[in-house]
A = this chain, B = another copy of it.
C-alpha cells in the first residue's frame, strides 16, 4: 500500500488561544488574530476542511503567500503559501480534543496510506536528550509537499520528515511518542477514504496556484490595460520569434 509520512511540524505559537475541545471549525482555529479595526486589513477567512473518524480527526487549512512591494510599484513574491494539517485524538463519540497537548520534543511521523483506504498514521519517536516542549500536532505542508500529495498514484507513497531542530529558531509542533522509556505508544490513525482524498486533492489543486501567488499575476491581466501598451512596453524589447 501507499504511505505519506510527515515526521514533524514546524508551526507553533498561533495556538495559545486554542482551548475548546470542539473541532477547530467552531472557533478561531489556527490563529489568534488581533481584532481587525473596521477595514484596517481585508477580512480573513478560516476555511478549515475536516475529516472526522473514530480515533481522530484531521483538519486542513490554507495559508497565504507573502509579497513585498518594489520601488517600481510592482509586487514580488517572497514566500510561497502552504497548507496546515492539524490532528486531534478522539475524546469521546464524535468529540475531538483539539486542545490536548502532549509531552514530547522530537520527530513525529504521520503517513497517508493510499490504496483501498487511505490512512493517516502519526508514528512518533521520543528522544530523552531533547528539552521537553508541550505542543500541539500541526504540520505545515510546503508547495512541493502538496505536489507530492496531488501526484500520489494508486501505488505511490511519500514521506515528509520535519526535523524540529534543523531550523535556526526551533518552532516545532509534535504530538506524541513511541516512548521506549515510559513505554508510551500512542499513534493517531485516521482512515481517509478515496472520496475524502479526492476532496483534499481537489482543494489542494485549487489552492496551489494561489500559494504560488500566480493568481495575483493572472488577475492583473486586464485587456483594457494591456491594450494601452502597458504590457507591451514592459515586455522584453526584442521581437519574440514563435515560428519554429
Contacts and interface: CB of A to CB of B under 8 A. Distances in A.
A167 B243 contact: yes
A216 B223 contact: yes
Interface residues of A, number: 118
A70 B214 CA distance: 29
A236 B75 contact: no
Q: How many identical subunits does the complex contain? A: 4
B28 A68 contact: no
Contacts of A74: 28, 33, 36, 43-46
Nearest to A168: B239
Contacts of A42: 220, 222, 225, 230
Contact of A234 (B44, B94, B205): B44
A19 interface: no
Contacts of A199: 143-144, 146-147, 208, 212
Interface in A81-110: 81-82, 94
Interface in A148-168: 148, 150-151, 158, 160-163, 166-168
Interface in A108-138: none
Nearest first, the 5 closest Cβ-Cβ pairs linking A and B are A171-B238, A167-B241, A36-B73, A151-B198, A148-B195
Interface of A: 10-14, 25-31, 33-38, 41-49, 62-82, 94, 140, 142-148, 150-151, 158, 160-163, 166-172, 193-199, 201-203, 205-210, 212-218, 220-228, 230-244
